[in-house]
């Protein structure tokens, strides 16, 4: 991937584009593109690009232009089908001056206007300036792999790959958006376009923003869709559908191996990444290089399954050990890169993993991310299925017992824990066709973190998270089946907002590594969304069709393995060894009162509980991580604003930034 930024003057009276500000912006995201940083400044617009060279290392500098140099583009991401697009465009008479995937964008736009995006198979954030019609088009990929943020200020539209590149141009410290925090403390992340930063928006996945004539408007070009009628489903035999899924995935992997640098892969020990590595392995032209995390806590570790796969594939493999110290000391940098508080420490080890990739000389990895959302893998989907089955006979004593099969660790050795499970998972049983039915238990547990908000902040963050999401739901959702509604909510909230961002792009790009996700190829998604739910979740067997499709290519131990969620040590990691100084400093009552988000006396009690090792459950862990990471967020982006984003601005100019300007 790369980083981009820019400033567009929306009105004639808006201040001019200053090279120094633009250089300060791109310097803040230099980690995304360590190979080269360039700016282009015209009277109306300035574009900045930080490049991570992956395709056409020699001549791929951005911005890139069309034949008459009136259409310019800066681009973060990849267009995997660029060779095919390029051939078609050349046949239509377009001339190319580079071998990049980026250059197809300007010519596609010339041919198809704003619909050019529909031809792209890839992951992308694009800023395209059409100088002939004085219009700027910002585009984000369908599912939210590549980030893109924007803000309007003083008659100018500011945009960038990360918020930290917008901050130098704002001129004042940002403020927390209470509604953004409210959503984060419910869904794990704000729902785009909302962010944690008041006045700064995230372009939602599948949308474009068009700025022309002094105005900005958003347009949706892609949406997660499921059949609204039975005849919308694929009708082939299960065997033939499994074969189609296999072929689609193999092709999704094939195009994602396109790069002028070597490509590695993450291996978690689960089914999804095993499938990806097996598909790479079958291609004799690509040597397989794999990377994984290894935990000292046996409850979190999947090393045995990783080794089984590595031996099966005879891959060169690196396992990165994760210690409490790594998690505790790595949190500030993780919050800095993610730009949001986190309810789990899980992103921190992902930064150590990408550092190992970079250290081994790799800058691209394929991962199994997205398989659970696209093909029906999460326990939450099974949980919702059982709850819906139970809701048809709410008095049944036997139906809720199925929940025990799902959460064996909750099947308490002490007998009657079942009753407690029933109370918990019984919520919403009166409305099993409600849009949020599948997610109510999880969101309710997560929202318990809000009890630590200060009275002032809890009042400001009125409980509107669900209402805000309800407004944004697709009209046809009521006609989808239960599993499909759950898949949509998962993709829209947790995957786009957290997994692909705080735990994905940001932890990869912190070390200049690009992730590629074959399961999120839109051809795979659009195929999977037309599969009958029973082909994804067969009774309680998750990702049924994927297992059928790949059975012959994997060790049996992996094909039959029950999914283990990826987790890292949370609150305990900060107290089992030496507690980092920032914990006591940021959780001190004075600091909590000063920042204003949380109730100091409640947090003191939570901290005391954590210190004596008393935090064991999900809710307390999430609360501890939320409070600590929110305090870190405030310190780095608000309290230290001047030092981080204003005073050190010339540092960007001291780097080798190339500036081209046209009057």
Partner 1 sequence: MTHRQQLRDYILENYLFTSDASALDDDASFLERGIIDSTGIMEVIDFLEERFGVQVRDEEMIPENLDSVNRICRFLERKRAAA
List for the chain the helix, strand, coil content (%; round to 5): 50, 15, 35
Give min distance, CB of 602 to partner 1, in A: 4
Give min distance, CB of 181 to partner 1, in A: 19
Give min distance, CB of 139 to partner 1, in A: 42
Token pair for 529: 């969304």
Give min distance, CB of 165 to partner 1, in A: 38
140 or 591, CB closer to partner 1? 591
Please list, residue by residue across 195-206, b when 16 or more beta carbons sit within 10 angstroms of its beta carbon and e when fewer do: bbbeebbbbbbb
Edge-to-edge strand ranges of the sheet holding 657-661: 201-202, 149-153, 156-160, 3-9, 45-51, 36-41, 657-661
Report the distance separating Cα 492 and Cα 109, nearest Å: 28
Report the distance separating Cα 260 and Cα 416, nearest Å: 59
Determine which helix (DSSP H) or strand (DSSP E) holds 167, and give its type and residue range: helix 163-170
Report the distance separating Cα 78 and Cα 123, nearest Å: 5
DSSP bridge pairs for 218? 209
Residue 128 and residue 71 in contact, taking contact as beta carbons nearer than 8 Å: yes
334 or 606, CB closer to partner 1? 606
423 or 541, CB closer to partner 1? 423
Give min distance, CB of 604 to partner 1, in A: 8
46 or 441, CB closer to partner 1? 441
9 or 442, CB closer to partner 1? 442
Give min distance, CB of 619 to partner 1, in A: 6
358 or 609, CB closer to partner 1? 609
Give min distance, CB of 251 to partner 1, in A: 44
314 or 414, CB closer to partner 1? 414
Half-sphere exposure of 52 (CA within 13 A, CB side): 26
Give min distance, CB of 296 to partner 1, in A: 22
8 or 403, CB closer to partner 1? 403
Contact positions vs partner 1 (CB under 8 A)? 410, 412, 414-417, 419-421, 423-424, 444-445, 448, 451-452, 601-603, 605-606, 609, 614, 616-619
Contacts of 610 (CB under 8 A, 6+ apart): 571, 572, 574, 575, 620, 624
211 or 603, CB closer to partner 1? 603
DSSP 230-246: GGGS--S-HHHHHHHHH
What does each C-alpha distance from 656 to 35, 38, 114, 616, 660 come to in angstroms?
10, 9, 34, 50, 13
11 or 416, CB closer to partner 1? 416
Residue 121 and residue 251 in contact, taking contact as beta carbons nearer than 8 Å: no
Give min distance, CB of 384 to partner 1, in A: 18
Q: Do you know the residue count of the chain?
A: 663
Determine which helix (DSSP H) or strand (DSSP E) holds 278, and give its type and residue range: helix 271-281
- How many helices (H) and strands (E) the chain has is answered by 29, 18
344 or 516, CB closer to partner 1? 344
DSSP 473-504: S-GGGGGS-HHHHHHHHHIIIIIIIIIIIIII
554 or 626, CB closer to partner 1? 626
* Residue in 110, 112, 86 with CA at minimum distance from that of residue 98: 86
Please list, residue by residue across 620-633, b when 16 or more beta carbons sit within 10 angstroms of its beta carbon and e when fewer do: bbbbbbbbbbbbbb
* Diameter of the chain measured on Cα atoms: 78
399 or 561, CB closer to partner 1? 399
Give min distance, CB of 129 to partner 1, in A: 51
Give min distance, CB of 460 to partner 1, in A: 20
Token pair for 389: 């089955």
* Residue in 13, 44, 207, 23 with CA at minimum distance from that of residue 125: 207
Give min distance, CB of 616 to partner 1, in A: 7
Give min distance, CB of 535 to partner 1, in A: 32
Report the distance separating Cα 127 and Cα 137, nearest Å: 6
């Amino acid at each position: 991937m790369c980083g981009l930024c820019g400033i567009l003057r929306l009105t004639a009276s808006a201040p001019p584009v200053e090279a120094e500000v633009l250089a300060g912006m791109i310097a803040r995201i230099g980690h995304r593109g360590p190979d080269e940083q360039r700016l282009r400044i015209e009277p109306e617009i300035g574009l900045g690009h930080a490049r991570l060279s992956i395709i056409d290392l020699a001549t791929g500098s951005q911005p890139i232009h069309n034949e008459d140099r009136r259409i310019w583009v800066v681009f973060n991401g990849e267009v995997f089908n660029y060779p095919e697009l390029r051939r078609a465009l050349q046949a239509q008479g377009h001339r190319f001056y580079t071998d990049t995937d980026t250059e197809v964008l300007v010519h596609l736009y010339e041919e198809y206007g704003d619909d050019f995006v529909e031809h792209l198979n890839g992951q992308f954030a694009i800023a395209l300036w059409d100088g002939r019609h004085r219009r700027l088009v910002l585009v984000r990929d369908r599912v939210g792999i590549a980030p893109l943020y924007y803000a309007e200020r003083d008659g100018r539209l500011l945009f960038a790959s990360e918020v930290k590149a917008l901050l130098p141009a704002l001129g004042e410290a940002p403020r927390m958006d209470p509604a953004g925090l409210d959503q984060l403390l419910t869904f794990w992340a704000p729902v785009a376009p909302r962010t944690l930063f008041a006045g700064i928006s995230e372009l939602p996945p599948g949308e474009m923003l068009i700025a022309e004539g002094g105005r900005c408007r958003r347009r949706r070009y892609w949406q997660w869709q499921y059949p609204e009628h039975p005849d919308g489903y694929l009708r082939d035999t299960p065997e033939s559908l499994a074969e189609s899924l296999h072929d689609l995935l193999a092709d999704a992997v094939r195009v994602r191996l396109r790069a002028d640098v070597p490509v590695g892969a993450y291996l978690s020990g689960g089914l999804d990444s095993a499938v990806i590595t097996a598909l790479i392995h079958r291609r004799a032209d690509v040597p397989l290089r794999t990377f994984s995390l290894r935990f000292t806590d046996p409850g979190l570790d999947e090393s045995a399954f990783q080794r089984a796969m590595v031996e099966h594939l005879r891959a060169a493999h690196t396992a990165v050990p994760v210690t409490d110290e790594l998690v505790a000391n790595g949190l500030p940098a993780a919050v800095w890169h993610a730009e949001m508080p986190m309810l789990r420490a899980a992103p921190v080890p992902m930064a150590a993993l990408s550092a190992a990739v970079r250290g081994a000389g790799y800058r691209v990895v394929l991962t199994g991310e997205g398989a659970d959302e696209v093909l029906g893998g999460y326990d939450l989907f099974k949980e919702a299925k059982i709850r819906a089955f139970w809701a048809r006979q709410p008095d049944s004593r036997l139906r809720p017992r199925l929940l025990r099969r799902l959460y064996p660790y909750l099947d308490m050795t002490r007998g009657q824990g079942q009753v407690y499970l029933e109370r918990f998972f019984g919520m919403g049983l009166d409305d099993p066709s409600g849009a949020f039915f599948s997610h109510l238990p999880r969101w309710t547990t997560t929202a318990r973190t809000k009890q630590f908000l200060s009275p002032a902040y809890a009042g400001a963050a009125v409980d509107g998270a669900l209402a805000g999401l309800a407004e944004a739901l697709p009209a046809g959702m009521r006609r989808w089946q239960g599993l499909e509604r759950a898949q949509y909510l998962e993709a829209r909230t947790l995957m786009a907002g957290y997994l692909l961002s705080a735990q994905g792009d940001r932890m990869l790009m912190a070390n200049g590594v690009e992730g590629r996700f074959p399961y999120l190829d839109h051809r795979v998604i659009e195929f999977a969304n037309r599969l009958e739910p029973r082909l994804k979740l067969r009774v309680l067997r998750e990702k049924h069709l994927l297992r059928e499709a790949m059975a012959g290519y994997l060790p049996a131990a992996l094909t039959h393995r029950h999914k283990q969620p990826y987790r890292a040590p949370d609150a305990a990691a900060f107290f089992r060894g030496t507690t980092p100084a920032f914990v006591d400093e940021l959780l001190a009552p004075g600091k909590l009162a000063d920042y204003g988000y949380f109730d100091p006396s409640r947090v003191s009690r939570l901290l005391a509980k954590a210190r004596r090792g008393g935090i064991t459950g999900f809710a307390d862990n999430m609360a501890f991580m939320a409070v600590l990471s929110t305090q870190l967020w405030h310190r780095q982006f608000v309290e230290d604003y001047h030092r981080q984003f204003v005073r050190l601005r010339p540092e960007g100019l001291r780097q080798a930034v190339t500036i081209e300007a046209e009057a």
